[in-house]
Amino acid sequence: DAGVIQSPRHEVTEMGQEVTLRCKPISGHDYLFWYRQTMMRGLELLIYFNNNVPIDDSGMPEDRFSAKMPNASFSTLKIQPSEPRDSAVYFCASSSGWGAGYTFGSGTRLTVV
Amino acid sequence: QKEVEQDPGPLSVPEGAIVSLNCTYSNSAFQYFMWYRQYSRKGPELLMYTYSSGNKEDGRFTAQVDKSSKYISLFIRDSQPSDSATYLCAMSRSSNDYKLSFGAGTTVTVRA
């Protein structure tokens, strides 16, 4: 298995632009997580899905952020409009269940200028 | 105050030394404790997890939990340059709690 696949690896965009991050989880994993990592705040859970249904989005910072999971093999995290404070590494992770641990992708490094 | 506190380091040790990492937490509801390893420009990967208090050993890695002190530790014996990474602790309240609380991570460098 290729693991959790995220795209793009790097994204540089101007303030105010829409940004879409993509994730392909490991086949058979029922849980999908979006995390954000910064030096100041560490690793923060934004939202997670179970069987394509959003379970908890309390970590989504504001209405500018939205996430979807239209099917078991694809999820997106969208930021519209983007702001410089959104600059961070965004990780997607998937899991087959709590005890199995989470498998993280390599992340998308987002820079908003 | 953060729920989980972890000294960010950095920590530099010679090859073969024992690496000692720790986290403290404030929420007594945490029951499950995990350690993740994150190499530069990669996502975290699960090293091991423990339930409640006690020790758990996996090869060169030993995890300890002291719930009475709200303190957890990870020891790496016979450290290797390949152990150079950032180590993050994580905790949850139950096996149904998917909202892990992560520490900030400690960056470790093992010098050859």
pLDDT of residue A41: 87
Domain count, chain B: 1
Question: At B102, which amino acid appears?
Answer: F
Q: Does B40 touch chain A (CB under 8 A)?
A: no
Q: For position B53, what pLDDT does the model report?
A: 82
Average pLDDT over residues B22-41: 94
Query: In whole angstroms, what is the distance from residue A63 CA to residue A51 CA?
Result: 23
Say which of A91, A98, A101 has its CB closest to residue B95: A98
Establish how many alpha carbons lie within 13 A of residue A65's alpha carbon, considering only the half-sphere containing its beta carbon. Answer: 18
Tell me the per-residue pLDDT of B67-93, one tens digit each, with 9 for 90 and over.
Answer: 999 999 999 999 999 999 999 999 999
Per-residue pLDDT reduced to its tens digit, A47-106: 999 999 999 999 998 899 999 999 999 999 999 999 999 999 999 999 998 777 899 999
Contact A106, A9 (CB under 8 A): yes
Tell me the nearest-neighbour CA distance from A2 into chain B, angstroms. 14
Residue B49, chain A, CB below 8 Å: the answer is yes
Domain membership of residue B68 as a residue range: 4-111
**What pLDDT shows up at residue A1?**
65
Give the closest-approach CA distance of B41 to chain A in angstroms: 7
Contact A48 B98 (CB under 8 A): yes
Which residue, chain included where needed, has tokens 């945490």? B30
Q: Which residue on chain A is closest to B98 by alpha carbon?
A: A98
Question: What was the pLDDT predicted at A99?
Answer: 74
CATH number for the domain including B14?
A: 2.60.40.10
A33/B contact by beta carbon, under 8 A? yes
Whether residues B103 and A4 touch (CB distance < 8 A) is answered with no
Burial group, residue A86, by CB count within 10 angstroms (0-12, 13-18, 19+): buried
Over residues B38-59, mean pLDDT: 92
What is the mean predicted confidence (pLDDT) over B22-36? 94
Q: How confident is the model at residue A101, as a pLDDT?
A: 85
Residue B88's closest CA among A5, A37, A18? Answer: A37
Closest CA of chain A from B78, distance in Å: 25
